[in-house]
């Protein structure tokens, strides 16, 4: 089995100093990578961001506090030297592909070759409320990937033409210098068949959202089979997973934490299929398209709390790696045994109970140490 890398999520809310202090601390703690969400809006509805529902509301006045991801990545490079720095993930709706290429190459120079471009098809919450079109998101992503690779491969001083359905270039140039001639790796977020095909053709890594071990195994098989069609081997694409976790002293205490509305509401981001496999309709309606349709700012407190009651426990549990340290080790190991190489983890434990901030990170440190000690 390959060594598993551990990534964490970068700070998104004040104070601004955390953008360079936290990555340095994460590097010292042994994390291999830090990833910055590219959001204007968060996943939690403001309507339930209340002290009586989550103690987090006493610390953060809003769940939608996000610094710019690309600037955050550059600042994260300031006092670090080893940790990889990625976007998780950006999209080519709010950002033009040429700007994405320029931004990530700039960050790669700042970090001396440690930047990763995490990119996906986009989420409705960051797009439609801001008057932007989200039509044909996967086709748009594919065209953006073609452009970004074209720019990365261009030679200094040459002009670039591109005649696409969305973007057209005529006599464009891209002379932003690559760091030591190094092209920043591209990791694609998404797990649908078309997204896996784009990963197989264009990407250096894959970071889908959390899924069960069985689903992950099936999609890994599809990714490897598809990669072969493009003349690529199983080692050409790094296999990642973006996973939220709930960790406490034991499974029972984690299950109690997962009763919190703020933990359960995350399941509303899932597509209809995630509910239909348990024989029920998505609480927000039939054929709900998950993150493409999910706009938390449009949901009232009553709508959210009513929808949360309809979410089966099994759907919530599918979204998390949870349990005591030994349980979490076993669950991560199950993914590693089928091919996981890079696990990006987001601690949501304290969203249910803010008093568990310190203990939850302490427990996860035990988990990371287990895998690092095993490698040694």
- Residue ranges covered by each domain of the chain: 5-254+320-375
CA 103 to mean position of chain CA atoms: 18
pLDDT of 376 strictly over 80: no
Task: Write out pLDDT tens, residues 35-67.
Answer: 999 999 999 999 999 999 998 999 899 999 999
pLDDT of 243 strictly over 80: yes
Question: Are 89 and 96 spatial neighbours (Cβ–Cβ below 8 Å)?
Answer: no
Residue among 173, 181, 170 at smallest CA distance from 154: 173
Residue among 33, 44, 36, 32 at smallest CA distance from 18: 36
What pTM, to 2 d.p., does this model score?
0.97
The arithmetic mean of pLDDT across residues 261-268, rounded, is: 96
Task: Write out pLDDT tens, residues 269-313.
Answer: 999 999 999 999 999 999 999 999 999 999 999 999 999 999 999
The arithmetic mean of pLDDT across residues 138-148, rounded, is: 98
pLDDT of 317 strictly over 90: yes
Q: What confidence tier does 374 reach under pLDDT thresholds 50, 70, 90?
A: confident
Task: Write out pLDDT tens, residues 338-373.
Answer: 999 999 999 999 999 999 999 999 999 999 999 988
Interior/surface letters 235-268, b for 16+ CB within 10 angstroms, e for the rest: eebbbbbbbbbbbbeeeebbbebbebbbbbbbbb
Residue among 143, 178, 174, 182 at smallest CA distance from 158: 174
d(CA 246, CA 317): 10
pLDDT of 92 strictly over 90: yes
Residue among 207, 244, 248, 245 at smallest CA distance from 359: 248
CA 369 to mean position of chain CA atoms: 23
Is the previous residue joined to 112 through a cis bond, with omega within 30 degrees of 0?
A: no
d(CA 254, CA 316): 12
Task: Write out pLDDT tens, residues 75-88.
Answer: 999 999 999 999 99
H or E stretch at 228: helix 213-229
d(CA 342, CA 353): 28
pLDDT attached to residue 3: 86
pLDDT attached to residue 2: 75
d(CA 348, CA 69): 20
pLDDT attached to residue 98: 98
d(CA 174, CA 179): 14
Residue 155 makes CB contacts below 8 A (sequence gap 6+) with none
pLDDT attached to residue 373: 82
The pLDDT mean for the chain works out to 96
d(CA 203, CA 271): 24
Q: Give the Å distances, CA to CA, from 187 to 31, 36, 90, 149.
A: 18, 13, 10, 13
Task: Write out pLDDT tens, residues 112-142.
Answer: 999 999 999 999 999 999 999 999 999 999 9
H or E stretch at 322: strand 320-323
Hey, what CATH class is 5-254+320-375 in? alpha beta
Is the previous residue joined to 89 through a cis bond, with omega within 30 degrees of 0?
A: yes
> Judging by beta carbons within 10 Å of its beta carbon (0-12, 13-18, 19+), is residue 182 exposed, middle or buried?
middle
Q: How many other C-beta atoms are found inside a 10 Å radius of the C-beta of residue 368? A: 20
**What is the share, in percent, of the chain residues with pLDDT greater than 70?**
99
pLDDT of 170 strictly over 90: yes
**What is the share, in percent, of the chain residues with pLDDT greater than 90?**
96
Q: What is the DSSP letter of 174?
A: -
Strand spans (E) along 51-204: 84-87, 115-119, 160-163, 168-172, 186-188
Question: Are 322 and 247 spatial neighbours (Cβ–Cβ below 8 Å)?
Answer: yes
Residue among 197, 299, 89 at smallest CA distance from 288: 299
Residue among 342, 110, 100 at smallest CA distance from 239: 342
Q: What confidence tier does 1 reach under pLDDT thresholds 50, 70, 90?
A: low
């Amino acid at each position: 089995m390959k060594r598993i890398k551990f990534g964490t999520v970068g700070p998104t809310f004040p104070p601004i100093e955390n953008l360079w202090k936290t990555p340095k601390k994460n590097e010292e703690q042994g994390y291999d990578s830090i990833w910055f969400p590219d959001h204007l809006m968060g996943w939690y509805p403001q309507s339930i961001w209340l002290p009586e529902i989550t103690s987090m509301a006493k610390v953060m006045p809003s769940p939608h506090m996000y610094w710019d991801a690309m600037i955050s990545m550059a600042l994260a490079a300031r006092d670090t030297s080893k940790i990889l720095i990625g976007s998780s993930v950006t999209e080519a709706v709010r950002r033009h592909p040429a700007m994405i290429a320029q931004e990530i190459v700039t960050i790669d120079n700042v970090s001396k070759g440690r930047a990763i471009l995490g990119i996906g098809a986009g989420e409705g919450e960051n797009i439609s409320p801001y008057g932007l079109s989200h039509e044909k998101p996967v086709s748009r992503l594919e065209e953006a990937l073609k452009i970004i690779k074209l720019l990365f491969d261009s030679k200094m001083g040459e002009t670039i033409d591109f005649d696409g359905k969305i973007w057209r270039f005529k006599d464009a140039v891209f002379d932003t210098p690559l760091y030591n001639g190094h092209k920043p790796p591209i990791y694609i977020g998404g797990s649908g068949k078309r997204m896996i095909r784009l990963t197989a053709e264009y990407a250096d890594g894959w970071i889908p959202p959390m899924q069960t071990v069985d689903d992950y195994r099936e999609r890994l098989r599809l990714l490897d089979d598809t990669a072969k069609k493009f003349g690529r081997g199983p080692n050409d694409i790094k296999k990642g997973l973006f996973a939220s976790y709930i960790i406490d002293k034991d499974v029972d205490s984690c299950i109690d934490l997962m009763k919190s509305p703020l933990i359960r509401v995350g399941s509303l981001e899932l597509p209809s299929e995630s509910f239909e496999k348990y024989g029920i309709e998505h609480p927000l309606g039939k054929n709900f398209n998950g993150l493409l349709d999910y706009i938390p700012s449009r949901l009232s407190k009553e709508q959210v709390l009513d929808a949360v009651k309809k979410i089966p426990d099994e759907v919530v549990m599918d979204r998390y790696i949870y349990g005591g340290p030994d349980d979490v080790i076993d669950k991560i190991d199950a993914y590693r045994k089928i091919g996981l190489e890079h696990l990006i983890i987001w601690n949501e434990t304290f969203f249910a109970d803010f008093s568990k901030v310190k203990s939850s990170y302490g427990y996860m440190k035990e988990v990371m140490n287990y895998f690092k000690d095993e490698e040694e």
